[in-house]
Structure 1
Amino acid sequence: METYQDLSRLVSPRSIALVGASDRSGSIGARALENLMDHSDFKGDVYLVNATKPEVAGRKAWPDVASLPSVPDTALVAVPAEHVLAVLEQCGEKGVRFAIILTSGFGEAGEEGKAAEQTMKEIVARTGMRIYGPNCPGLTNITERLGFTFSPSFRHDLRGGPVGLATQGGGLGRNVLQAMDRGIGVALWSSSGNEVDLQVSDFIHYMADAPDIKVIATLLEGVNDGRKFVAAVQHAARKGKPVVVLKVGRSEYGRKAAQSHTASITGSAEVNSAVFAQLGVVEVDDIDELIDTAWLFARGMPRQGGALAIYSGSGGTAALCADMVGNAGLKLAEFAPETLAVLRDALPSYAAIDNPIDTTTAVMAKPELARTCLQAVCNDPSVSLVLLPQALEYGDITKLAADITADVQKESPVPMLPIWMSERQGGAYKVFADAGLAPVRSISKAVKAVERWMGYADWRARADIDFKPLMQTAARPVADVPTRALSEPEGKAMLRAAGIAIPVSRVAATLAQARLLAREVGYPLVAKVVSEQIQHKSDVGGVVVGIHDDAGLEAAWESIHTSVKRNMPDARIDGILLEHMAAPGGLEILIGVSRDPVFGHILTFGLGGIYVEVFKDVSRRMLPLSATEAEAMIREVRCFPLLDGARGKPRRDIAALTALLVKVSDFVVAHGDHLVEMDLNPVWVGVAGEGALPLDAVIVMEQGEGGK
């Protein structure tokens, strides 16, 4: 069970020491002092620490933390890197609860900086003081107007609201705050930098409990502790607070940039995305999408099966918006008769009233018609959200319509989402922003936000909120532990013992023995080389299929030995595995398990053979799997119609495949402390009633488990 410290005295301290306080214009210490004293509404005690001056900016200063007259809750550290460790030692000895390290030049700067960070961890372990940073812009509590930061923009970024923002880097986090200019409001921004101690996960967990926060937006460069992250986002889900994430470092270029920036573990993009989706974390692709999506959640929670209304004064704009809604698989609402009656009475006969709505230019002549129509649409029982695409800026006319929209929104049971398509921003844009409607800058961005918003309702409806991932109970992976790939007979024996159906097979050490065993196994056969040195048997000519008689068996025996000796002369052949061939016409599927260093064991499902590499059509899950989740994995892949009987083909045994996935999951749970990876490829899937059989199995264990 992951534990989290109460961060309330970091977010809202009763007293604070600014170590490195300065009156030198432009310095970090001076900017931090200005934000704290001039632009914050801090009512607690402030202690300034300066090693060379008894007074800073007209206020008394102390030479060091040790000489302070009382113990501050938090220390804001703004001294050069070479002095930071000494300051932290004094803070820890003094009994300071939290230290915010603004200074850079640590883990992101090389080996010497990493060594300093290790010392910081030792200080935390020894004193109990928690460290935030280093290499961070500080902490901003906008609800209470507290700026523990050196940012010159703090004074301008003070629009409060229900979004909690947890980031690692500072620049993109500040970018989110500056979206306040189009109407979003933020309660708290944490930017945890190199995360020597406190991590993004600590703040997600804190924000999940914070009464002034409805939704959590996070910018991740990497996840340093997968267990803690999973526990934090699950806590947020149980509290009914969506987590929206933008993950940086999804390409090789991005990974390198993220590592040099905050020295984070970026992880596999595919695994990260799979974990996010499984846990209901809403993943976005860009910074404006993070803002749009988070703010939509802040304005209202979606309901499952909801539908949209499109309201515009331009027929072409309404049609374009409807196209994008349809292409995204979203649903337009069917208006109730009473809604249609209001629209029919208010608008001219040539207006389109049957969703999407085109009011035509009638509302320009009579703007109050917009109030009547919008109220009717917002109150329609089938409408969950109203899209308002605005193609043009018409000065006072547009502003008046925006005033009416903002007024109607105050009483509306559903959110209205303005889409500001014009490059020209006038008074209407400001009206929307001031009303907290945060206009989105394109139809495609708006539809993406709505798609994710509504998708979260679907996830909530099917989610197991109390799901306990195997990673929370299995042993943590240890670097550089020796591993061993089990032979195919060994691996299949383990699977068979776990109740997984495996084709009948035997291992022959000699050709004479092979002839006898062939009759026991039964023709037709497949013959495979058995060697600890060979995992990919086909690559060295170590597999022969379609053996129907003794003559074919003798030829296969000779072929395998000759090919293996030619391709891998140093490999020791321990025997030949003889296995009864599956019936023709089966579909080949891949089931793989890998142990991700951040999120633990991940199961992958998709087309088998070479297709998984070509099409990359797979689904992934953390384990353990329920039967419901296993079937969802199967239905999630694009190739599912092949399993479901596309174009007259027979339907495959999906029930047997589902049961196999669950048994594989159970196998991994049983061996989770030592299982490194497993590859069942191909898995033969017959038609309904014929079953699903792993035909090949590669299992890699830590040394000492499952073998020598």
Structure 2
Amino acid sequence: MTHPAFSTDLSRLINPRAIALVGASERPQSIGGRTLSNLLDHSQIDGELYLVNPTKSELRGHRCWPSIASLPQTPDVAVIAVPASGVIAVMEECAARRVPFAIILTSGFGEAGAEGQRAQARLKEIAEQAGMRIYGPNCPGLTNVNARLGMTFSPSFPHDLVKGPIGLATQGGGLGRNVMQAMERGIGIGLWASTGNEVDLQVADFIHYMATAPDIKVIVTLLEGIKDGPRFLAALQCAADNGKPVIALKVGKSEYGQRAAQSHTASLTGSAEVNSAVFRQYGVIEVDDIDELVDTAWLFARAMPGEREAIGVYCSSGGTTALTADAVGTAGLTLAEFAPETTELLRSKLPDYAAIHNPVDTTAAVLSDADLVESTLGAVAADPNTGCVVTPIALDYGETTIRMAQTIIAAQQRVRSPIVPIWMSDRLGEGYRMLVEAGFAPPRSVGKAIAAIRRWTEWGRWHRSAAGRPARRLPAAVPAAQNEVRNLSELQAKALLEKAGIPLLPVAVARTREEARRIADGMGYPVVAKIASPDILHKSDIGGVRVGIADGAQLALAWDDIMASARHHKPDAAIDGLLIEKMAPGGGVELMAGVTRDPVFGHVMTFGLGGVYVEILRDVTRRLLPLSPEDAASMVREMRCFPVLDGARGRPVADVPALERLLLGVSEFVTANAERIEEMDLNPIWVGARGEGALPLDAVIVERGAA
């Protein structure tokens, strides 16, 4: 499945039939010279290569053409390797010739100050007028390893050519090349796009392409910033629809990292919490470093997770066996309980002193018998209760370790479940090289291996649970920022919520002490009194709230106290009176739900434990709007305090279904008024026992673009 509104056909860019290299050079260390070498010496071009250089008639025995206009045919791709001062003129030639794609390797544009930004804007203008797409500028080029095509100036291209099912989309070239060089560990990367300044084509476009590309099975992305939220989400949804995992490393999580990312790419980095919430919703596997990214991606490339999640551990060192079992348990994973036939085979084959119940400790005594190790390891991997097997190798023991590597390779050929060898030694001996050449890409520690397996397992659960669900609704595009905002009064906010069908307690504003008494008498006591002012959002902070008012006399005292406190703390605030509200029943739990507008993705809901300590306790979860019923259910259950709602220590079970309905109602309200709602805060939300409902007790809404 694709999303036509956001998808772009990149097939002529990634598999071009005709390429023009503009700025081809005989100087081997220049960008044009290195790109020429990669295309002529190290690529297998299935079509025409045109060299463009107005000062040369030929280069290395190949004819040179003076301009794009002079070429005998229009190329699919123009690779531009001229100085920044000449790029715009070349782009104008490409536009006139209707070249569909331009790869601009040259730096000196959006990353280079005001003048560079103006030049970059001109590039975008030229391309849009001609219907041409730009890749770059300020990028290392495009590498299609599976087709052995390097439209790049990188001197590493000839050395990083291990074909494979992983697609890599990055913004920065250095980290991207770092991932490419994980080929030394035995992984295969079929396509690498490093998009540079993203004046036009973005990482999202290449994720979208890879989501339907037949030679790509796993998508990896390194992100410094996300410029177009809906475009990015459409790509993630397309990958999910096609059953392809997306593994992401997002830099810029800390203030330091955000500053570095912005100076590098001039992109919005976004809130780390929001980015992570969006990733969870769309099934993206978020990792924290390059090793974790590579280990996880290659495990997916070897095998997709199935319903069998339990792990088998097969080892020859007692201490290493225990270390691995601990890591499995600490990660929240499960050791498989072997089927009787597996246990019986292990008992019949292994010595009496070996541990035959998972985790298996063969002891080092059996390593000299390769057939014995292969048959027993194969039995563990073939066990019907086992989803994968880890085989930690604690040390390089020369010939013994070589035989162990051989048996792992042989055993894997007989079973479908992945065997994950862990090479723990810093000595990378022949056994390690054998595993690399066989495509195992051994993780270098038990912790890294188990982390990859945990993410593999969790994505399998997510993917199975998402099967058959309706496609997720993409959020509306984020409108341009407007400075004009206004705070609605609590009464105005609650009127909007009530109109949207969200249940509320009776509420009214009293302009005088006498009117407050009439309202409260009509509602019935107890009531709550709150200062009514559009200029005072956090009423409790200034003594602007009284709860549990039992009669008219207490209400009169509350009026005097609240008004005095408001005048003292906020002397310039406009005061409308007191808001009188029926008090919620006793008991219950106080929660909160807030909505903010993220500049990249749009409206995001934060939900969790409420009351005055929400900022301190920070027991919250987040989701991008609109919510699905599954989102609402998972938000409630992800909170650390969920056991309190679920009847912990004899408490009544809370009305969780009503709470989920409330979250969905708020989501629909905000989505229907997306242009209007800037912020929203429902705190506290009272949740009673099962059947008693969930009610917002306070409501703050900030509108944008309002008069």
Normalised-by-shorter TM-score class = over 0.9
Instruction: Say if 2:482 and 2:704, in contact at 8 Å, map to a contact too.
Output: no
Alignment correspondent of 1:136: 139
Instruction: Say if 1:681 and 1:697, in contact at 8 Å, map to a contact too.
Output: yes
1:61: how far off? 2.0
The answer to whether structure 1 residue 43 and structure 2 residue 46 are counterparts is yes
555-564 or 328-337, which deviates more: 555-564
Instruction: Say if 2:627 and 2:664, in contact at 8 Å, map to a contact too.
Output: yes
CA distance in structure 1 between the partners assigned to 2:530 and 2:617 by the alignment: 27
Alignment correspondent of 2:633: 631
CA distance in structure 1 between the partners assigned to 2:438 and 2:338 by the alignment: 27
Alignment correspondent of 1:659: 661
CA distance in structure 2 between the partners assigned to 1:115 and 1:565 by the alignment: 52
CA distance in structure 2 between the partners assigned to 1:544 and 1:258 by the alignment: 47
CA distance in structure 1 between the partners assigned to 2:654 and 2:308 by the alignment: 30
1:219-230 matched pairs, under 5 angstroms: 219-230=222-233
1:469: how far off? 5.0
The answer to whether structure 1 residue 147 and structure 2 residue 150 are counterparts is yes
CA distance in structure 2 between the partners assigned to 1:615 and 1:163 by the alignment: 41
Instruction: Say if 1:371 and 1:405, in contact at 8 Å, map to a contact too.
Output: yes
2:577 alignment partner, one of 572, 575, 578: 575
Instruction: Say if 1:19 and 1:49, in contact at 8 Å, map to a contact too.
Output: yes
CA distance in structure 2 between the partners assigned to 1:305 and 1:335 by the alignment: 12
Alignment correspondent of 1:491: 493
Instruction: Say if 1:475 and 1:672, in contact at 8 Å, map to a contact too.
Output: no
1:57-456 matched pairs, under 5 angstroms: 57-456=60-459
Instruction: Say if 1:367 and 1:400, in contact at 8 Å, map to a contact too.
Output: yes
Across the two proteins, how many residue pairs are aligned to each other? Answer: 704
1:481: how far off? 4.8
Alignment correspondent of 1:675: 677
User: Where do 5+ consecutive residues of structure 2 fail to align?
Assistant: none
Amino acid at match of 2:10: L
The answer to whether structure 1 residue 685 and structure 2 residue 684 are counterparts is no
What is the CA deviation profile of residues 593-614 of structure 1, one whole-angstrom value per residue up to 9, with x for unaligned ones?
1222222222221000243312
Alignment correspondent of 1:565: 567
CA distance in structure 2 between the partners assigned to 1:362 and 1:470 by the alignment: 59
438-447 or 660-669, which deviates more: 660-669
CA distance in structure 1 between the partners assigned to 2:413 and 2:119 by the alignment: 53
1:25: how far off? 3.0
What is the CA deviation profile of residues 251-270 of structure 1, one whole-angstrom value per residue up to 9, with x for unaligned ones?
11111111111222211111
168-177 or 2-11, which deviates more: 2-11
CA distance in structure 1 between the partners assigned to 2:541 and 2:378 by the alignment: 68
Pick closer, same or farther for the CA change 1:549–1:611 going to 2, 3 Å. Answer: same
What is the CA deviation profile of residues 38-92 of structure 1, one whole-angstrom value per residue up to 9, with x for unaligned ones?
1111132212222433333443322322222321110111111122111111111
Alignment correspondent of 2:528: 526
1:605-624 matched pairs, under 5 angstroms: 605-624=607-626
The answer to whether structure 1 residue 545 and structure 2 residue 554 are counterparts is no
User: Where do 5+ consecutive residues of structure 1 fail to align?
Assistant: none
1:561: how far off? 2.0
CA distance in structure 2 between the partners assigned to 1:274 and 1:603 by the alignment: 10
Alignment correspondent of 2:602: 600
1:468: how far off? 5.1
Amino acid at match of 1:365: S
1:627: how far off? 3.4
Alignment correspondent of 1:698: 700
Amino acid at match of 1:690: E
Instruction: Say if 1:20 and 1:50, in contact at 8 Å, map to a contact too.
Output: yes
75-84 or 437-446, which deviates more: 75-84
What is the CA deviation profile of residues 79-125 of structure 1, one whole-angstrom value per residue up to 9, with x for unaligned ones?
11122111111111111111111111221222222222221221121
1:224: how far off? 1.1
Pick closer, same or farther for the CA change 1:3–1:179 going to 2, 3 Å. Answer: same
What is the CA deviation profile of residues 288-319 of structure 1, one whole-angstrom value per residue up to 9, with x for unaligned ones?
11111111010001013421100111111011
Instruction: Say if 2:243 and 2:463, in contact at 8 Å, map to a contact too.
Output: no
Pick closer, same or farther for the CA change 1:115–1:469 going to 2, 3 Å. Answer: farther
Instruction: Say if 2:485 and 2:704, in contact at 8 Å, map to a contact too.
Output: yes
CA distance in structure 1 between the partners assigned to 2:46 and 2:653 by the alignment: 70
CA distance in structure 2 between the partners assigned to 1:111 and 1:562 by the alignment: 54
Alignment correspondent of 1:478: 480
Instruction: Say if 2:478 and 2:600, in contact at 8 Å, map to a contact too.
Output: no
What is the CA deviation profile of residues 120-141 of structure 1, one whole-angstrom value per residue up to 9, with x for unaligned ones?
2211210011100111110001
Pick closer, same or farther for the CA change 1:138–1:302 going to 2, 3 Å. Answer: same
CA distance in structure 1 between the partners assigned to 2:45 and 2:469 by the alignment: 40
1:644 alignment partner, one of 642, 646, 649: 646
Instruction: Say if 2:308 and 2:385, in contact at 8 Å, map to a contact too.
Output: no
Amino acid at match of 1:157: D
519-528 or 172-181, which deviates more: 519-528
Pick closer, same or farther for the CA change 1:339–1:282 going to 2, 3 Å. Answer: same
Amino acid at match of 1:681: N
Instruction: Say if 1:35 and 1:147, in contact at 8 Å, map to a contact too.
Output: yes
Q: SS state of the match for residue 307, structure 2? A: coil
CA distance in structure 1 between the partners assigned to 2:261 and 2:444 by the alignment: 28
Give me the CA root mean square deviation: 1.6
Instruction: Say if 2:368 and 2:400, in contact at 8 Å, map to a contact too.
Output: no
1:649: how far off? 2.4
Q: SS state of the match for residue 489, structure 1? A: helix
Instruction: Say if 1:223 and 1:229, in contact at 8 Å, map to a contact too.
Output: yes
CA distance in structure 2 between the partners assigned to 1:134 and 1:410 by the alignment: 45
1:566: how far off? 2.0
What is the CA deviation profile of residues 619-640 of structure 1, one whole-angstrom value per residue up to 9, with x for unaligned ones?
1222333434322211111111
Pick closer, same or farther for the CA change 1:155–1:475 going to 2, 3 Å. Answer: closer
Q: Percent identity?
A: 59
Instruction: Say if 1:475 and 1:673, in contact at 8 Å, map to a contact too.
Output: no
Amino acid at match of 1:335: F
1:700: how far off? 1.6
Instruction: Say if 1:588 and 1:607, in contact at 8 Å, map to a contact too.
Output: yes
CA distance in structure 2 between the partners assigned to 1:192 and 1:99 by the alignment: 12
Alignment correspondent of 1:11: 14
CA distance in structure 2 between the partners assigned to 1:603 and 1:470 by the alignment: 15
Amino acid at match of 1:219: L
Instruction: Say if 1:351 and 1:359, in contact at 8 Å, map to a contact too.
Output: yes
Alignment correspondent of 1:462: 465
Instruction: Say if 1:526 and 1:581, in contact at 8 Å, map to a contact too.
Output: yes
Instruction: Say if 2:168 and 2:220, in contact at 8 Å, map to a contact too.
Output: yes
CA distance in structure 2 between the partners assigned to 1:163 and 1:80 by the alignment: 33
443-452 or 689-698, which deviates more: 689-698
Pick closer, same or farther for the CA change 1:464–1:253 going to 2, 3 Å. Answer: farther
CA distance in structure 1 between the partners assigned to 2:7 and 2:623 by the alignment: 26
